[in-house]
Homo-oligomer: A and B are copies of this chain.
């Protein structure tokens, strides 16, 4: 197995994990940036035309893992960690679908919807392909009633 290597770092408005809006109705539309280490910069060639990207990072503030998570969106009730997006996972890899708003310098990508802490180590960037990655009608299991509730809240 491999040892993870940072290819860059994330800049976000969230200085602490507690500052990240949590739960399904949470808004992460604050602008953030992804900064690649200079040696990896050539790997960004031809990324311009993608409107959305997968960003993978290390949950480097997570303290070990737990097979049960207690997500705030369900008032702390336990769910298996693989049925949640909890940071305390066996492999501490985080994943966001972000909107890519262009470059700010050759090694800095301006993005939206990135829900991680400022300074988080970046592991990977992948192009988002709606042909294989978009499932707008996917069923959300235990999250579904909370999604409805939050949607109602958002409208009110």
Residues of chain A having any CB pair with chain B under 8 Å: 1-7, 24, 40, 42-52, 54, 56, 58, 60, 67-68, 78-85, 89-93, 95-97, 113, 121, 123-144, 147
Contact = CB atoms under 8 A, between A and B. Distances in A.
Nearest to A109: B82
A67 to B, nearest CB: 4
B51 A67 contact: no
B4 A141 contact: no
Given A42-B67, A93-B56, A143-B127, A47 B83 contact: yes
Given A1-B3, A4-B1, A4-B3, A81 B43 contact: yes
A103 to B, nearest CB: 13
A147 B131 contact: yes
Contact of A2 (B3, B56, B133): B3
